[in-house]
């Protein structure tokens, strides 16, 4: 199943290396395909390099699109991560 | 395809594989794989990834323990990049489908990402490019492992691309396989330029940053005439340049027929055409082209690339080799001309204004032990042939007198020890500081010959740093002031009856040959590769014709008018030499 939600990057650094790392770590915990869309650009949400090429600075509007068996949970978790400014909670899968 | 404009410092065209020298001087050993090696190479790639990940984890844990988890976050991001499925997929596809070696695939792909990051708006991601380079290095180190090839250990021809080649880096290169140089920084007269000229291979310097756009093994074209570097050339461009290389070969073969003919004008005036050399092996290049002598033997190479100061024997051996090979023809040895652009000597403070600072003869006079060592070796070599000594960068009469005094002292010393040398050794000086031309009538009384060094004379007269891109266009030998200084020097030497040579880059440029002859010059010292062309011009003109050219040029006000006019004249005499 497919789900999507629009979020705004609000942490001052934007989707920088560490936030992107946290995003990918969380995304890879789900079986669903995750994509990030910024304007015309669409990238794989499980590829940190691809995410970094978006250069999503603070204030950027991103759409998270998730497709797969656990789409709802994935979308909730990922949107929350961005909305809560990548707060350093224990997101580590291991 | 990407074209870069730099400063042309050594002519010629080269097409070949890039050797990219960044701070670690990695060398990609080969670009393509045999088809049946693919599976093995993929395993190797996989092992390299695992090893690199292990290293990063180790760093992360160490930093985390010592400084706290927050500081280790960047290593987490690096690990994530290594684990990036897209990156891995791209690399494996390159190895599997295009048969790229893992090293080449890694370098190419990661540099492409780095470039994307560098180009993103507002510099926001620019520093991520450094993360990418870090990962590239880590992977390459693991891939190359023990097989990591040293730059000194080349096995196939390469074009060397570097940020800035230091003398020791150039000294460590296996020159047999180097076919061209490009450096991001530097200007005409930089060490790279001199080495490239000595090797007779094309070189372009001062291109600005580009190394991140190219990987070792990429095909690159260096156009040393136009100062162009072409990355990832298309087929058509490669074909065009191959054609040019072929044409040059034909032209060189035609000029070779002049080897045993003298540089004599149509009306029978003999011009002495000498070669400039840096390394002893270049004597061969001079002899092959029928040089009348060595007009400038630069001795800086003895001091560069070695950690210790050369001793007298090292000097003597280098001089003896050249003098003996030249078999009685004159060899002008210039004493140490280091400083400024050529070497930042350890122990010397960084100079705010190195071209106006402690360099060249000033270093020799300040450090007389070093100077005496060199002079002793030159004197001993004078027993073996027609050796002459020349002092660079003289700017006052006092300096010249001091240099001559040290020389006289060393002569006395040798005499006491019964070492043979030529008592009548001819002593000359370079004319490269305007103060010398102003006082030229006094200087010609004190020396046996002059040699005009146009490279420095131009920069000091016109107050232009030729390595500064913003003003480099003001640096030109065609400026009327330069022509005037040359003329004054030639006339003063003529009145005194001593020979005057011209050994700067100007003399090797066919554009100026007629003008220089017209100004009264009868001796030129040029890079060995330029001898055939310059000889061809000498043999095609009359002195009267050249004097007319000089008279007309003298009346022109602007450097660019002089240049345009000289081009027209040369075109009428030898159209094939006008690019």
ipTM confidence score: 0.86
Confidence band of B255 (pLDDT split at 50, 70, 90): confident
Q: Sheet containing A33-38: give its strands across.
A: A2-8, A61-67, A33-38, A41-44
Measured CA to CA, the distance from residue A79 to residue A73 in angstroms comes to 10
Mean pLDDT of chain B: 89
Of A18, A21, A55, the CB nearest to B121: A55
- Closest by CA to A57, choosing from B388, B273, B121, is B121
Residue B23 has pLDDT above 60, yes or no: no
**Given pLDDT bands bounded at 50, 70 and 90, which one contains residue B26?**
low
Interface contact B77-A20, CB threshold 8 A: yes
- What are the residues facing B223 on neighbouring strands? B13, B228
| B87–chain A Cβ distance below 8 A for any pair | yes
- pLDDT at residue B130, as a whole number: 80
Could you confirm whether A16 is annotated as catalytic?
Answer: yes
**B258: pLDDT strictly greater than 90:** no
What span, in angstroms and rounded, lies between the C-alpha atoms of A26 and A3?
Answer: 17
More confident residue, A16 or B24: A16
d(CA B74, CA B128): 10
Query: What is the nearest CA distance from A49 to chain B, expressed in angstroms?
Result: 6
Contacts of A53 in chain B (CB under 8 A): 113, 116-117, 120, 125
Whether residues B85 and A21 touch (CB distance < 8 A) is answered with no
Closest CA to B127 of A41, A19, A55, A87: A55
Average pLDDT over residues B140-158: 71
Among all residues of chain B, which has the CA nearest to that of A47? B84
H/E element, B426? strand B426-431
Site of tokens 């001052």: A12
**Yes or no, beta carbons of A48 and B80 under 8 Å apart:** yes
Mark residue B347 as left, alpha or beta (left: phi above 0; alpha: psi -120 to 50; beta: remaining): left
Q: How far is it, in rounded angstroms, from Cα A1 to Cα B449?
A: 91
The two tokens of residue B299 are 């001795």
Cβ–Cβ < 8 Å for A58, A19: no
B146 has a pLDDT exceeding 70: no
Catalytic residue among B78, B286, B503, B538: B503
- Residue A93: predicted pLDDT: 41
Q: What is the pLDDT of residue A33?
A: 95
Measure CB to CB from residue B113 to each of A14, A24, A49 and give the nearest one.
A49
Instruction: Give the pLDDT confidence of B69-126 residue by residue, as tens digits.
Output: 878 888 888 999 999 999 999 999 999 999 998 988 998 899 888 888 888 765 666 7
DSSP characters over B62-126: HHHHHH-GGGGHHHHHHHHHHT-HHHHHHHHHHHHHS-B-HHHHHHHHHHHHHHHHHHSGGGTTH
| Phi (first) and psi of residue B8, to 5 degrees | -75, 120
Matching residue, tokens 């705004």 = A8
Cβ atoms of B49 and B84 closer than 8 Å: no
pLDDT at A91 over 50: no
pLDDT at A84: 87
Q: Check B191, B285, B538, B546 and give the catalytic one.
A: B191
pLDDT number for residue B295:
97
pTM for this structure? 0.66
Distance CA B127, CA A13 (A): 13
Q: Which two tokens stand for residue A83?
A: 């909305």
For B536, residues 6+ apart whose C-beta sits below 8 A from its C-beta are: B255, B258, B574, B577
* CA neighbor of B432 nearest in space, from B450, B452, B402, B447: B452
- Nearest-Cα distance to chain B for A1, in Å, is 23
B contacts of A52 (beta carbons < 8 Å):
117, 125, 128
pLDDT at B405 over 80: yes
pLDDT of B70 reads 78
């Amino acid at each position: 199943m497919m789900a999507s939600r629009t979020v705004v990057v609000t942490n001052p650094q934007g989707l920088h290396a560490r936030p992107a790392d946290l995003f990918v770590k969380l995304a890879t915990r789900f079986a669903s395909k995750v994509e990030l869309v910024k304007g015309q650009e669409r990238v794989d949400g499980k590829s940190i390099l691809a995410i970094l090429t978006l250069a999503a600075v603070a204030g950027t509007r991103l759409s998270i699109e998730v497709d797969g068996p656990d789409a709802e949970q994935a979308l909730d978790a990922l949107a929350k991560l961005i909305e809560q400014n990548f707060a350093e909670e224990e997101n580590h899968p291991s | 395809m990407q074209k870069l404009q730099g400063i042309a410092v050594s002519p010629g065209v080269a097409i070949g594989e890039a050797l990219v020298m960044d701070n670690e001087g990695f060398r990609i050993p080969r670009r393509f794989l045999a088809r049946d090696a693919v599976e093995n190479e993929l395993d190797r790639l996989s092992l390299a990834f695992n090893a690199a990940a292990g290293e990063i984890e180790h760093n992360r844990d160490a930093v985390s323990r010592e400084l706290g988890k927050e500081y280790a976050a960047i290593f987490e991001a690096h690990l994530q990049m290594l684990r990036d499925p897209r990156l891995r997929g791209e690399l494996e596809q390159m190895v599997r489908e295009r048969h790229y070696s893992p090293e080449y695939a890694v370098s190419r792909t990661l540099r492409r990402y780095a470039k994307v990051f560098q180009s993103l708006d507002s510099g926001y991601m620019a520093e991520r490019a450094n993360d990418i380079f870090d990962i590239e290095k880590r992977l390459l180190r693991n891939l190359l492992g023990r097989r990591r090839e040293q730059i000194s250990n080349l096995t196939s021809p390469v074009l060397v691309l570097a940020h800035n080649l230091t003398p020791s880096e150039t000294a460590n290169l296996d020159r047999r396989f180097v076919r061209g140089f490009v450096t991001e920084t530097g200007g005409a007269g930089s060490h790279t330029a001199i080495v490239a000229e000595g090797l007779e291979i094309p070189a372009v310097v001062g291109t600005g940053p580009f190394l991140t756009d190219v990987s070792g093994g990429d095909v690159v074209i260096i156009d040393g005439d136009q100062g162009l570097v072409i990355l990832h050339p298309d087929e058509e461009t490669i074909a065009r340049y191959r054609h040019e290389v072929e044409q040059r070969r034909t032209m060189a073969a035609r000029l070779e027929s002049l080897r045993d003919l003298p540089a004599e004008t149509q009306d029978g005036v003999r011009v002495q055409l000498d070669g400039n050399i840096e390394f002893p092996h270049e004597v061969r290049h001079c002899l092959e082209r029928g040089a009348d002598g060595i007009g400038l033997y630069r001795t800086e190479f003895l001091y560069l690339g070695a950690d210790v100061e050369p001793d007298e024997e090292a000097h003597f051996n280098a001089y003896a080799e050249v003098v003996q090979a030249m078999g009685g023809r004159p060899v002008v040895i210039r004493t140490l001309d280091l400083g400024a652009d050529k070497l930042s000597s350890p122990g010397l403070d960084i100079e705010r204004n190195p071209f106006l600072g402690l360099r060249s003869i000033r270093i020799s006079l300040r450090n007389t032990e070093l100077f005496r060592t060199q002079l002793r070796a030159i004197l001993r070599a004078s027993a073996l042939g027609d050796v002459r000594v020349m002092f660079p960068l003289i700017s006052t009469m006092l300096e010249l007198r001091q240099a001559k005094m040290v020389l006289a002292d060393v002569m006395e010393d040798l005499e006491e020890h019964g070492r043979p040398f030529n008592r009548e050794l001819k002593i000359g000086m370079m004319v490269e500081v305007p103060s010398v031309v102003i006082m030229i009538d006094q200087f010609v009384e004190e020396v046996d010959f002059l040699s005009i060094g146009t490279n420095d004379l131009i920069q000091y007269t016109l107050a232009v740093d030729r390595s500064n891109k913003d003003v480099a266009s003001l640096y030109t030998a065609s400026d009327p002031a330069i022509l005037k200084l040359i003329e004054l020097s030639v006339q003063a030497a003529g009145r005194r009856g001593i020979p005057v040579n011209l050994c700067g880059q100007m003399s090797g440029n066919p554009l100026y040959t007629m003008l220089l002859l017209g100004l009264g010059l009868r001796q030129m010292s040029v890079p060995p590769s330029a001898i055939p062309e310059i000889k061809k011009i000498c043999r095609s003109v009359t002195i009267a014709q050249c004097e007319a050219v000089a008279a007309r040029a003298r009346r022109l006000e602007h450097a660019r008018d002089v240049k345009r006019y000289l081009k027209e004249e040369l075109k009428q005499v030898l159209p094939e030499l006008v690019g």
